[in-house]
Each structure stands twice: as C-alpha cells, then as structure tokens.
Structure 1
Amino acid sequence: MTTDREADANRLAAQSLAQDDPTGWFERLYAEASTGSAVVPWDRGGPNPLLVDWAAERQVVGSCRRALVVGCGPGYDAEYFSTLGFETTAFDISPTAIELVQERFPDSAVEYRSADLLDPPAEWDANFDLVVESFTVQSMPVSVRGTAIEQLRRLVAVGGELLVVAGIRGEGEEVDGPPWPLTETEIRSFARDGLQVQTLEQVEARWRAVFVRGDNTSS
C-alpha cells in the first residue's frame, strides 16, 4: 500500500519508467523536493537504525579504512559512518541531492559525489573496505537490478565488506513499486565474484546482510 510519503516517488517513478528511464526519477524527485513540491520518503532526519545497530553491535571502528555509501540521498548514513572514523565517500545519481546534502553538512569530512551505480567510476573498483547499500537496489526495477548488484560487488576491496539493508519480498510475489523489495534469491545473489555471505538476517521485516571478500593472496 502506498503511503502519503511515497506518493511523489511513485508518481515520478511511473513517469520515468514509461519513458524507459529507470533511474531518472531520482533527480526529478530531489529537484521537486528542493522547491517544496515533493517529499523524499527516505529522508527521516537521521541514519538508518539498522545500520547504527549493526555498527554498535560489532563495535565498528573505521580508523584507516575507507567506506562508500551508495545512494546517499540526505546524507545521514554517510555522516554516521564518518563519525566512526571511516574515510567516507558517498554518492547519489541525483546532482540536486548532492547539492542539498552539501548545503546541509557544509563542514562535512565526507566526499560527496554525483555518480551512477549502474556505471560507477573505474577508480572505485575494489577500493573500499566497507560498502554500505541501504534501500538503493530495491528502488530500482528488476530490469536493471542485476547490473546494480554486479557493480556493487566490484567496489569491495580484498578483505572488505558489503553491508546491505533491503525490504523483504516473497519469491514470486508481485509488487507495484517503488520500492521493489528483494527476494531471498536476490539478496543471496550478492554473494558472487569473490564475495561470500558472512551474515544474513531478518530484522524488523528487513534483510540485513553482510558479504565479505576474502584475501585472494592466501593459499
């Protein structure tokens, strides 16, 4: 069921999909939100609690490590991981989203960039000790989901981790998105190309999974 907070996202996503543009609606949403004519449904005023709880449970410290936050949107997740000591890069496909987050956090240590998950910068390949993907893949239709997941795998350094948070959808269940939550098959599909499942759990009706890339220099 669509909530009032999701109405603008669904309207703009439908328009983009009708034009065979599966990701163009993000920029349109942030552009409208910047004028007060739309609501960004995932702008909740703070970092995702499932990420915060994960880091607290593991007593994560980012000293001398690099983190990448995917689809950073309002920036709260990126700012949180920066406070843990990570050298943090965060990106969004929407240039307006990046402009807004830089205005929101003018003194931030985070490097904010506009980039496309479906074609990320080559210099990011295998370059991050922690890649954080929270609700971005599920905002993309199935037609591009495989590409998004494949590109995410590329970004994880040897010995690094990919942290994924997403909604849960039953196998074969039809959903009129966005979002289009992930089935168990889809969440497990992150574990390819050298990535292995470290943990896979259901927390508050969400997937929370960690995938790790082993040290390929070991025997």
Structure 2
Amino acid sequence: MTDPDFAERRARAREKLDAIDPHKRAGGVAADPQRREWFEAVYELAGDDAAGVPWAGLASHPVLAQWLEGRSLQDFRVLDVGCGLGDNAEALAAAGARVTAFDLVPRAVEWAVRRFPQSAVNYRAADLFHAPREWRGAFDLVHELYTLQALPDALLPDAARALASFVAPGGMLLVISRARDEGQEIAGPPWPLTRAQIEALAVGGLVLSSLERIAGSETTAPHWRAEFVRDDRG
C-alpha cells in the first residue's frame, strides 16, 4: 500500500462509522437487523477513499492469498460473497476461475467495476438472504470472507443455509474469519467467530473437511480458514 497515511485515515473513518453503527448500542439489532443501512453508509461516507471502508485492503486478503499459492482454479465456477472493492474476486479470477462476485451495496459493486474496468469478473449487487435462484447449486467454490463476522448471531443459521445452497455437487465452501475463543467477550461488531460457530456452518449437505487456526501477529488477529465439501453420498 503506497499511501503513507492510509492507516491513519482508516482509523479516523472507523471511529466515525462506529459512532453511527446501531449495533454498538443497546437495541441496535432491532433498528438495523441485517446492518444494511450501516453498510450503505460506509460506502456513502467513504466517497472515493478506500480508507473509509474498514475491510478494504487494496490487495487480496493474505489468508486467501496463501490458500491460492500454487493452486489452479482453471474453469472453476466461483462465487465471491461480500466482494467489497473486488480484490479477492480478482485474485480468484487470476487463479483461473470464472468468478461471480456480489455485494449487498450497489455502490461497492460500482466501485469494484471502476477499479477493474477490464475484469472478467461478473460483479453483481445481491442480498445473501435473497440471492438469485439460478445460483443454487451453481458453484464449484464459494468464498466467504468477513461477511459472517459482520452479522449478529441470530442471522448466522440463515447465512449458513444460504452459503450451502450455492455449492454445487462435489463443490467447496471456503470460509475465512477472525477467530475468538469460546467464552471470550467481544465488543463487536465485528464479531470474530468461535470454533463452534465455524463447525455449525456444516449444513445443507456440507461436511467440514479442514479447519485451520492461523496465529495472529502484532498487526493481525488470529483467523480461521475452513473448508467444507458437499457430501453427495446420501
């Protein structure tokens, strides 16, 4: 990242965004249960400065980048969930995949298209909980990074079923999230996931095939990287 004050601008933006996030206050879940209004506000207030988008790193996420090293996704049909400004979708496409990437906020999708005008990625505005019917069972790989940890606990079962519904027979769901221990109190959002919450994503015919806890550092939090495969045996 070449902009030397990016981190400072991001910190200032995060303070403003936390101040308007209803989920930081009592009763906020009822006010904006799916956090749609807050996500829309993030992109509106950011203007054209990616530092105003807390999850925009202007590069593919390092945990995804590590997973992609030496891996070919040639001709895989891939769905990138909550694509934001498009960096992860572009990394998946660079690995050979035919990528559909969606975000709840149309402004995010428009921004991604402007950033990558020559991209082969099919960027779409869509709602995880009301996704296009043609996406059901349509993808060899579904990639989800940070969407789940941005949702209140009550929405996680519905989100898990939605993610599972996209996975084709023999396909995979790849989930990357910040990690926390059972019983660890978090003043979210975001709400890093516990091991039990990750394991609970094995619904709709999905089976957990790999779960890694990736250690944090001075600058990064611990993360989960989980792979689920569709079990077609029964």
Q: Same fold (TM over 0.5)?
A: yes
Give the corresponding residue for 1:33. 46
Give the corresponding residue for 2:60. 47
Give the corresponding residue for 1:66. 77
**Whole-angstrom distance in 2 between the partners of 1:151 and 1:8:** 31
Closer, same or farther: CA 12–89 of 1 in aligned 2, 3 Å = farther
Superposition deviation, residue 143 in structure 1: 2.1
| AA of the residue aligned to 1:156 | V
- CA deviation digits over 1:84-128, x for unaligned, max 9? 110000000001101111111111100000011122111101110
Partner of 2:21, secondary structure, is helix
The answer to whether 1:132 aligns with 2:140 is no
**Whole-angstrom distance in 2 between the partners of 1:39 and 1:8:** 9
The answer to whether 1:23 aligns with 2:31 is no
The answer to whether 1:7 aligns with 2:24 is no
TM-score, scaled relative to structure 2: 0.84
5+ residue gaps, structure 2: 1-10, 216-221
| AA of the residue aligned to 2:54 | P
| AA of the residue aligned to 1:140 | L
Q: RMSD across aligned C-alpha pairs, in angstroms?
A: 2.0
Contact 2:211 2:224 in 1 (8 A): yes
**Whole-angstrom distance in 1 between the partners of 2:110 and 2:167:** 26
Closer, same or farther: CA 132–9 of 1 in aligned 2, 3 Å = farther
TM-score, scaled relative to structure 1: 0.90
Superposition deviation, residue 37 in structure 1: 10
| AA of the residue aligned to 1:14 | P
The answer to whether 1:168 aligns with 2:179 is yes
Contact 1:81 1:88 in 2 (8 A): yes
**Whole-angstrom distance in 2 between the partners of 1:6 and 1:52:** 25
Superposition deviation, residue 11 in structure 1: 2.8
**Whole-angstrom distance in 1 between the partners of 2:116 and 2:186:** 35
Contact 1:70 1:134 in 2 (8 A): yes
**Whole-angstrom distance in 2 between the partners of 1:18 and 1:35:** 30
Give the corresponding residue for 1:115. 126
| AA of the residue aligned to 2:183 | G
* More off after superposition, 172-181 vs 117-126: 172-181
Contact 2:50 2:56 in 1 (8 A): no
* More off after superposition, 92-101 vs 30-39: 30-39
Give the corresponding residue for 1:93. 104
The answer to whether 1:83 aligns with 2:91 is no
Closer, same or farther: CA 22–149 of 1 in aligned 2, 3 Å = same
Closer, same or farther: CA 116–8 of 1 in aligned 2, 3 Å = farther
Superposition deviation, residue 5 in structure 1: 5.5
Partner of 2:124, secondary structure, is strand
Same amino acid, percent of matched pairs? 40
Aligned length: 213
Closer, same or farther: CA 148–169 of 1 in aligned 2, 3 Å = same
Q: Of the candidates 209, 213, 219, which is equivalent to residue 230 of structure 2?
A: 213
Superposition deviation, residue 174 in structure 1: 2.8
**Whole-angstrom distance in 2 between the partners of 1:85 and 1:9:** 36
